[in-house]
Amino acid sequence: MGLIVQKYGGDALGDKGKGKSGGGDTSQLYGAQFIAEKFLHVAHVVKKTRDQGNNVVVVVSAMGDATNRLIAMAQSIMKNAPARELDMLMSTGEQQAIALVAIALESLGIPSRSFTGHQVGILTESLFGKARIRSIQTERLESTIAEGIVPVIAGFQGATADQEYTTLGRGGSDITAVALAAAIRADVCEFYKDVDGIYTTDPRVCPSAYKIDRISYDEMLELASLGAGVLQSRSVEFAKNYGVPLHVRSFLHDNVGTWVVPEEKEMEDVVVSGVAFNRGEAKITILGVPDTPGIAAKVFSRIGAKGIVVDMIIQNTAQEGHNDISFTVSRSDYDAAIAVAREVAKELKAREIIGDNTIAKVSAVGVGMRSHASVASRMFEALAANDINIQMISTSEIKVSCVISESDLDDAVRAIHRAFEDKRSTPTIDMG
């Protein structure tokens, strides 16, 4: 007998990536029967969990592409629509989904009630489009559970103290699920995905990749921020802060997926838990910058002012009194970033600007690095053995990242995965 929060994403309720722009639901594309089956499937999974003696709270995203299509509708009227109105519009996507999930549950004879974020007491700050949750008033949710009714909660949304509807930004539905699980002290927050769990790396690149059974919050955070897209960093951070065990699993079958949990002693036996990578990066180097205080601040405040997020930064002294500064940005920001860099370089009387928008980043992540020496050097050796040139290096306590040429990426992922395969122990604990 447990209390389980189950989160179903848009892919469980629709079919992401197949929608055309300009709409608010997927029914036109897939037909009523397709939609009914999707919702009934979710209801059956909930029923099974309930039949095993658990109380279930369901959190859902909007169906398939609904959110993107609502935004496209707004943009057809006004390119930069007010964020408040976009939130008003977008929050209907989840509201439709919760009603339909509740109806599907009722059709299986399971008493159910849907709630918007506002109704279930998710109070946020008043920053439209990316509000943060301030508090959750759980009375209504808890009394619904106590009545034996399955609450179906709209993810991604909340309301301010003034009853203004807000959305939580990218990954918002996951955050809702984790926040609710924390608030009602659920035993686990389950994420139903179209993948089996978290993999050691992308199996499409590296066929020997396999599903990770247990991973620590910190490792998951590193993997998430390094481009392994299954969970969003913010929801993992939230889970870590409140100690909510996560279980990432498939909505297509019953198998145990990946548990994301507080760090366990056995995890240190695994030197590298996962190999993450990101293709879409770009590098800019400013050569011959005068070595005076405040230079880096000047460069990066100007870039930040353009809304460009800088990832890695490396500075080293090239010759007496002059530095070279290299940094990486997302490839989509490359043109804007190099334009700013040119301006700044001129002002600073730097010698030259070099840019490369064909780079990629590959990273090895694992809490085992803390206790195992020379992880970095083994990674560098694996790359060298495959004639892969390392352009930049960045490390943290549980991560080593290398910038390489994008054309070397697939080989690099396979080489690093292979280099650490022998250092992994097969996890044996199973909480599922």
Least separation in angstroms between CB 148 and a copy of itself: 16
- Residues 303 and 310: their CA atoms lie apart, in Å, by 8
Task: Give the footprint of a copy of itself on residues 199-238 (CB under 8 A).
Answer: none
Please state, in angstroms and as integers, the Cα–Cα distance from residue 381 to each residue in 110, 312, 418, following that order.
58, 22, 12
Counting residues that bind a copy of itself (by CB under 8 A) gives 52
Nearer to a copy of itself (CB atom), residue 55 or residue 91: 91
Contact (CB, 8 A) for 14 and 42: no
72 in contact with a copy of itself (CB under 8 A): yes
Q: Which of 58, 59, 70, 271 binds a copy of itself (CB under 8 A)?
A: 70
Q: What are phi and psi of 28, to 5 degrees?
A: -65, -35
Stretch that binds a copy of itself, among 79-87, 263-271, 368-376, 385-393 (CB under 8 A): 79-87
Q: Which of 55, 67, 95, 201 binds a copy of itself (CB under 8 A)?
A: 95
Q: Which of 2, 18, 28, 396 binds a copy of itself (CB under 8 A)?
A: 28
Torsion of CA 414, 419, 421, 424, to 10 degrees: -140
Q: Which of 8, 39, 128, 251 binds a copy of itself (CB under 8 A)?
A: 39
Angle between helices 83-107 and 66-77 (to 10 degrees): 150
321 in contact with a copy of itself (CB under 8 A): no
Task: Give the footprint of a copy of itself on residues 104-163 (CB under 8 A).
Answer: 104, 106-107, 112-114, 116, 118-119, 163
16 in contact with a copy of itself (CB under 8 A): no
Nearer to a copy of itself (CB atom), residue 27 or residue 233: 27
58 in contact with a copy of itself (CB under 8 A): no
83 in contact with a copy of itself (CB under 8 A): no
Least separation in angstroms between CB 124 and a copy of itself: 15
Q: What are phi and psi of 246, to 5 degrees?
A: -105, 150
Give the chain's radius of gyration (CA, Å). 24
Sheet order of strands, 392-396 included: 310-319, 322-330, 274-290, 352-365, 399-405, 392-396
Stretch that binds a copy of itself, among 74-82, 207-215, 378-386, 389-397 (CB under 8 A): 74-82
48 in contact with a copy of itself (CB under 8 A): no
Q: For residue 218, give the H/E element and its range.
A: helix 217-225
Q: Which of 3, 23, 242, 386 binds a copy of itself (CB under 8 A)?
A: 23
Cβ neighbours of residue 375 closer than 8 Å, sequence gap 6 or more: 271, 272, 364, 366, 368, 369, 400
Least separation in angstroms between CB 43 and a copy of itself: 9
For 113-152, what is the HEC assignment?
Answer: EEECCCCCCEEECCCCCCCCEEEECCHHHHHHHHCCCEEE
Nearer to a copy of itself (CB atom), residue 164 or residue 291: 164
Stretch that binds a copy of itself, among 68-76, 267-275, 372-380, 401-409 (CB under 8 A): 68-76
Contact (CB, 8 A) for 288 and 351: yes
- For residue 10 the two structure tokens come to 């848009």
> How does strand 188-193 pair with strand 246-250?
parallel
Residues near a copy of itself, by CB under 8 A: 20-25, 27-29, 31-33, 35-36, 39-40, 69-70, 72-74, 76-78, 81-82, 84-86, 88-89, 91-92, 95-96, 98-100, 102-104, 106-107, 112-114, 116, 118-119, 163-165
